[in-house]
A and B are shown apart, each in its own frame.
Chain A
């Protein structure tokens, strides 16, 4: 099956600093990637949809200036949490749509990045 990686797997940072999370599709090209955040024992909440070569589309309530998304290539999307605060501590998960997936809607998820802001 399609493989999506994330780096780093976990990060601890001080309040006010910025953190960059990378999401890579390893064995396929993904024109569309998605970023989610998940709080403990809760479901995945879509933050934004990232399309290669264009600006990301953010969900309502997600600050685009705080969560910067770049999708510079067909295999890499990055999420930068700027001026992180403790309330940004969460599990961030990316997914990539595989064009060869079932009906074109198959999303493959990365392993997630645990962000802790002190």
Chain B
């Protein structure tokens, strides 16, 4: 059973455009939702994360939108650049301390020049 479903699987946007990746979760106990960026052959890097007490968080060109009732959250990248081309993973975990991350399957983003 996949607890975090991510879509789309791949995405192509033009330079300067907005890319949106979506994730849906099933476990209502999840209370921490990070997004990671991974370049080929590299480890994932934390981009931005949100907790359920807010509906939106913005850091630079990256924005997380969170819909608790729908159990969904999304990552928006504004003014997309070719350097943003990477695979993006959403994840979720419950509680603090020794909780583990449950990852989505990833969205491969290609930003065309």
Interface positions of B (Cβ within 8 A of A) = 32, 34, 36, 41-46, 49, 51, 89, 93, 96-101, 103-106, 108
Closest to B4 in A: A43
Interface residues on A, range: 20 to 34
* Residue contact A44 to B100, C-beta cutoff 8 Å: no
Separation of A71 and B18 alpha carbons in the complex (Å) = 42
Cβ–Cβ contact A51 & B98, under 8 A: yes
- Asked whether B106 lies within 8 Å of A111 as measured between CB atoms, the reply is no
**A-side interface residues toward B, CB under 8 Å?**
1, 4, 6, 32, 34, 41-44, 46, 49, 51, 91, 93, 95, 102-112, 114
In the bound complex, what is the Cα–Cα distance between A99 and B6 (angstroms)? Answer: 28
A41 nearest CB across to chain B (Å): 8
Chain A residues near B46 (CB-CB < 8 A): 1, 106-109
On whether the beta carbons of B36 and A43 are closer than 8 Å, the reply is no
